[in-house]
Amino acid sequence: MNEKEYLYQERLKRYLTAMRNEQPDRIPIRPFVAEFTAKYAGYTCQEVTHDYRKAFEAVIKCARDFDWDAMVPNMVYVWTGLTQALGLKYYAIPGIDIPPDTPFQYLEPPEQKAFMRPDEYNLLIDDPTSFLYNVWLPRVSTELVEGSGSYRAKLALVKGAMAMIDYFNALALQVEKMRRETGTVSAIAGILKAPLDIIADKLRGYIGLVKDLRRQPDKVLEACEALAPHLTKVALMTADPEKKVPIGFWMHRSYIPFISMSQFKNIHWRTLKPIIEEIWRHGNQVLFYAEGNWTPHLDSFAELPEGSIVFHVDRSDIYEVRKKLKDKFCVSGGIPNWVLSIGTPEDVQRYCRKVIDVLASEGGYIMDASAIIQNDAKIENIKAMTDFTRRYRVYSTGRQTLDSSEDIDVADPPESMLKPKIKPGVCIPWEEKRRELPRILGDENIVRRIWEEIESFGYLFIWQILLSF
């Protein structure tokens, strides 16, 4: 075993031990650094957003220089080369729509131009994948306009699909490069968002959703129930095949005061909880990247199976997090981004001490900022967070017993409540295709298996556009 591989295995063991809410040899450091990597590597936001190769280079430089335990292979997750190829309307691209050193911006459409109309819930409910291809994609794209069979439309679809293959293949190589050259662990794998967040983010818009929650809550619930099995399927399709690092779950506005407690419990949590339980049934943890203040909802999260999530603290009360979640789950984050941006290294050290004392006294904690670190963070403050964490909390008793080469046994949660109306994972079911074939002279199972494998590519493409781009 060479030096970098030894370092990788040591860091992986430390990271996994903490995520299982146990005590490693010291606190793992896993900052979700996005445009900060550009700043540190001497690139503009345009360069790392529009050219993923430079984004990858910036990550490698940070991994090598800061010596962190784990990083996301590219936290500047929206590759605008792909979004421009498809003509996606909901991003402002650095260097094109906004200044080159401004991070990409999400553009939520006005209510009257929402990508899904208030009377289209039944279309979404009947077949979510068909709705995304036939209704949603033509509306979010300047190239694939409704009813267009033009040369540019066909070209855009092919370019978008090929670009996605190119990017994800390169991302897999980036994970290996991080391991081989810097001994750094890839922090997460896979993508998950809550059904209600998807409706707010990419379909109805926030204003449209809150009106629907008042005017037609039953339809919103039914849509969330229809989306849930598909979101679960995509999460599992993109998860770490070794079931070591968690699935990234990006939490947005489905909490008080954006929605009421009743709407949270009866729609959001009612359709999200079965997803987490189903993912845990397959042996995968989920990282609850809880942007904002989720303190009123901690009791609900505590209902989940022990060890099934890692809870990331943004603005949630760290004392309430310790009280209600710490016995069951690992916790990460909690260092305010504003301190990293406008504070001094001494300010950063004081916050790190406070958070570590509250959340990390017995292990089960991962150091990170409260939210994704962009290019407003000072380099000296990121160094202060890193260096202080290394010095301040080394566990002398060291209960790091986890073997990183072994899977973690999980207790089975109750039987899944997910009941898909349309089978997730394919666009056109084999049963429908089979009726089009006059006869099969050979082994039908081979034909079906290959059909469904190829179908999964078309399925994953549209859901990844919805979730990741």
Per-residue pLDDT, 420? 74
Any domain includes 42:
yes
Between CA 333 and CA 201 the distance in angstroms is 24
Cα torsion through 29, 33, 39, 42, rounded to 10: 80
Cα 260–Cα 264–Cα 266 angle in degrees, nearest 5: 110
Q: What CATH number does the domain containing 261 carry?
A: 3.20.20.210
pTM for this model (two decimals): 0.94
Convert the pLDDT of each residue in 391-408 to its tens digit: 997 897 555 555 555 555
User: Which 3 state secondary structure label does DSSP give 100?
Assistant: coil
Q: Are 15 and 366 in contact (CB under 8 A)?
A: yes
Q: Are 328 and 307 in contact (CB under 8 A)?
A: yes
Return the closest-CA partner of residue 248 out of 282, 218, 212, 289: 289
Total domains, the chain: 1
- DSSP letter string over 359-419? H-BTB-EEB-BSS-B-TTS-HHHHHHHHHHHHHH-B-SS------TTSPPP----SPP---
In the chain, the N- to C-terminal Cα span, in Å, equals: 38
Contacts 24+ apart (CB under 8 A), 441-449: none
Provide block-wise average pLDDT over 10 residues at a time, the chain (469 residues): 95 98 97 98 98 98 97 95 96 96 94 96 97 97 84 95 97 98 98 97 96 98 97 98 97 94 98 98 98 98 98 98 98 98 98 97 97 98 98 73 55 61 90 92 95 96 96
Any domain includes 404:
no
Side chain identity at 113, as an amino acid letter?
Answer: K
How many CB atoms neighbour CB 134 within 10 A? 12
Whether the bond into 103 is cis, omega within 30 of 0? no
- DSSP letter string over 305-329? PTTSEEEEESSS-HHHHHHHTTTTS
- DSSP letter string over 171-183? HHHHHHHIIIII-
Q: Are 464 and 235 in contact (CB under 8 A)?
A: no
Return the closest-CA partner of residue 65 out of 44, 41, 83: 41
Per-residue pLDDT, 412? 57
Any domain includes 406:
no
Per-residue pLDDT, 405? 53
Q: Are 226 and 267 in contact (CB under 8 A)?
A: no
Q: Name residues whose C-beta falls within 8 Å of residue 107's C-beta, 6 or more positions apart in sequence.
A: 89, 90, 91, 92
Between CA 76 and CA 50 the distance in angstroms is 10
Any domain includes 318:
yes
Any domain includes 319:
yes
Any domain includes 407:
no
Write out the residue range of the structural domain in which residue 109 sits.
3-396+412-468
User: Which 3 state secondary structure label does DSSP give 268?
Assistant: helix
Most distant pair of Cα atoms in the chain: their distance: 75
Per-residue pLDDT, 411? 55
Any domain includes 280:
yes
